[in-house]
Amino acid sequence: MRTRGPGCSSGLRAASEGAPPRTLALACQCSSPVTETQEHPQTIVRTLKELDGEWLEASLHSGPIRSFASAQIGTGQMSESHRISLDYADPERAGPATVVLKLASADSHSRGAGVGLGIYQREVRFYTELAPLLGGPLATCYAAGYEQAGGWLTLLLEDVVPALPGDQIAGCSVEQARLALHALARLHAPVLEDSELAASGWLNRPSPVSQALVSQLLPGFLERYGEHISPEHRALCERFTARVDAWLADRHPPRGLVHGDFRLDNLMFGQPGSPRPITVVDWQTVSWGAAMADAAYFLGGGLPRELRRRHERELFSEYSEALRSQGGEDGLRLSADDCWREYRRHAFGGVLMAIVASMLVERTERGDEMFMTMLARHSQQALELASEELLRGSPTPRAAPLRPARSDEGRHAPAPEQLWNESWYFDAIALDGSLGAYVRLGLYPNLGVCWYTAFACGPGRATVAVVDFAAPLPDSESLRVHSAGVDADHRCAEPLERFGVTLAGIGEAYADPSALLRGEAGVPAPLSLELEWQTAGAPYAYRLTTRYEIPCRVTGTIRVGEEVLELSGAPGQRDHSWGVRDWWSMDWMWSAGWLEDGTRLHAVELRVAGASSLGVGYVQPAGTELEELDRVAASEKLAADGLIEHAAMRLGLSELEVQIEPLAFGPLRLLAPDGRVSHFPRAMCRLRCADGRIGVGWVEWNLNQAAATDVPR
């Protein structure tokens, strides 16, 4: 394996070691941002171990802190909170006796999700930009910062003890509901229909929730919780799922700030001695959208059924009137009937949250009870309010598969995340399964490196690998990679139709490909490629991320040393993606196959720790339209050496069963800067369907391992 630097971590470490000092925006409601250029630089506190008295003194503008103690509070999945008790050396210059420190999750998988969903950035920007404008039922924020590269969050907030949190399962009283809705109006009114916020990028991030996603999650949701769901609520979920896209697209005024999870667990009810009667916390899901959504979500899920039925209209009227009275000239201009109609429309928000959140977060006993309580209350609310009358049109038919644009074939402008990556994959396999090859070009512009990998392998022959995780980035619009031992080019001859790949490289040959997973060296071996991928099916674009796949036929020459090998019309696949790629944040199975009747298969199963897996892909019979998959279930048996012994997958509602027999491997060992390791046992495979069809293809598994203690060279 041709490498430069210590395994794949070389480029990552090189990028991080020269990074400038981290900064923290100090967000006192009466202060200006503090930067590293001032007398006391403010750094991100990534973990509790990094917290010290000097940082606390600077953040609180207090006198010297003699000592402090911490105790974890709450059970957040994307973040963790600690109560910090402070002992000041000088009582005359003392600050608050306790504060709350909120940090990003120590778990890298959860932290990666927090970055990808934008929740850390949103909460920091809420406290630095909107909280000073809104005031009211919000905790004072002493410091707020976000380090995007590592996904670290720091919030230092007022401790509102002896306030007590609400209980979503137990529900609340009418008086507590009244207090909460008046607080909500206090937050909504100042920015209702605000044109600047309506155009703000960070409040208007595209939502990953869609009808396609809910359709994937609902069968597993009903299977998991079926015995706890009444028949009428189950039927409502099924009818609503068929209209999710129409419901999401049906936007009506008033528009405003949306907390996104305004429920009892995120409300602190004041007790004698508390700084205020109620404090609203957890602003990680804040967005711009339907202003009535928070109220419908709160009353539908927070009040037990009988209390809601008796007091819902009365409480909502108080809320909408408070919006009018507190909004000044820009206050609520819609009639009471218009507002009530939008409130009814958004009764489905809680139904949607119960389905999606329960299947995507780590499962707990309390979580199951809470989601079932939410589903029952919100479903009953939607039924009693006849919310279905407001769903636009008939059930939405399955959307046509998406197709990439011709312009997508080129390079894209990078986003600022450290692990933003643009990737091109090319693979091919002989019809008889005797020979396979694949190439990956991965550009990491924010690290200043290119990951280049090329493999040739087959049954009974050595795996030859050309790998450079520290190659220089190609110039401008080019995709040519040139480094010691690698001269490769990748040219799009005709967008979405033809792509050529060439390589002249010095790699390493492995009689035992599992040696690559252990970071061992092979025997030097030249490898050259001159191949063309010709489109042989419908290009397919993903809905949930920026990526597309194209089934192909591959023709050309592979040279291993003096041996010349030919491919002519071999099945193959190529894909192109751009966005953050954190190999160490989740596991997955990816596959692309060809069956003897001409059918093309592509399936991916994403495996997020503690949550249900997600599946995407297609089945594309020869000469017919592509059928998009709504579910993928994959399994594999791992050998002691880290390679795959055999695997299987079930695809779509028809549950097409495919047995997978690895024939040869092109594996990689991927090492993160913090020691995390992922094994990537990519394999050319024989495919056998339960209906008797056979075929070939490439299958990969990204399998995260325990932290590394060594660095392969």
| Residues 546 and 577 sit within 8 Å (Cβ to Cβ) | yes
Cα 695 to the center of its chain, rounded Å: 33
Res. 40 pLDDT band, cuts 50 70 90? very low
Q: What is the largest CA-CA distance in the chain?
A: 85
Q: pLDDT of 622-669, one tens digit each?
A: 988 898 887 899 999 999 999 999 999 999 866 799 999 999 999 999
Which class for 713: exposed (0-12), middle (13-18), buried (19 or more C-beta within 10 A)?
exposed
Label the pairing between strands 267-269 and 540-541.
unpaired
Query: Where does 159-271 show beta strands of DSSP type E?
Result: 164-165, 255-258, 267-269
Helices (H) and strands (E) in the chain — how many of each? 15, 32
The pLDDT score that the predictor gives to residue 334 is 76
Are 8 and 451 within 8 A, CB to CB?
yes
Model pLDDT for residues 592-605, shown as the tens digit of each residue: 999 999 999 999 99
Integer-rounded Cα Rg, in Å, for the chain is 28
Q: pLDDT value at position 182?
A: 97
Between the alpha carbon of residue 462 and those of residues 196, 645, 664, 699, the distances in Å are 61, 18, 9, 19
pLDDT in tens, 86-114: 999 999 999 999 999 999 987 766 776 67
Of 187-191, 216-220, 514-518, 646-650, where does mean pLDDT reach its minimum? Answer: 216-220
Which residues 6+ apart lie within 8 Å of 654 measured at CB?
Answer: none
Token readout for 143 is 């410091």
How much of the chain, in percent, has pLDDT values that exceed 90?
Answer: 72
In the prediction, which pLDDT does 393 show? 66
Q: How far is CA 210 from CA 78, 259, 631, in A?
A: 22, 19, 15
* Helix (H) or strand (E) segment spanning residue 532: strand 523-535
pLDDT for residue 524: 96
In order of their start, the domains of the chain are 1-159 (3.30.200.20), 420-704 (2.40.370.10)
Structure tokens at 203: 């409040």
Phi (first) and psi of residue 562, to 5 degrees: -90, -5
Tell me how crowded residue 377 is: count the other CB atoms within 10 A of its CB.
Answer: 24
Which of 408, 413, 437 has the alpha carbon at shortest distance from 425?
A: 437
Using CA atoms, how far apart are residues 403 and 576, in angstroms rounded to an integer?
13
Average pLDDT, the chain: 88
Instruction: Locate 423 and state its tokens.
Output: 């990737």
Can you tell me the distance from the alpha carbon of 226 to that of 668, in angstroms, rounded to the nearest whole number?
41
Q: Please give the C-alpha separations between residue 87 and each of 96, 139, 156, 161, in angstroms, as whole numbers.
A: 10, 21, 17, 17
**What are residue 401's phi and psi, to 5 degrees?**
-55, 145
Nearest to 530 by CA among 473, 591, 585, 488: 488
Give the DSSP letter string of 567-627. Answer: EEEEEEEEEEEEEE--TTS-EEEEEEEEETTS-EEEEEEEE-TTS--EEEEEEE-TTS--E
Give the integer Cα–Cα distance in Å for 93 and 88.
8
Measured in whole angstroms, the distance separating CA 129 from the mean position of its chain's CA atoms is 25
Mean pLDDT highest for which of 369-383, 392-406, 643-657?
369-383
E-strand stretches of 74-200: 79-88, 98-104, 141-147, 152-158, 164-165
pLDDT at 283 over 70: yes
Reported pTM: 0.75
Q: What is the mean pLDDT of residues 565-581?
A: 95
**Per-residue confidence at 671, pLDDT binned at 50, 70, 90?**
confident
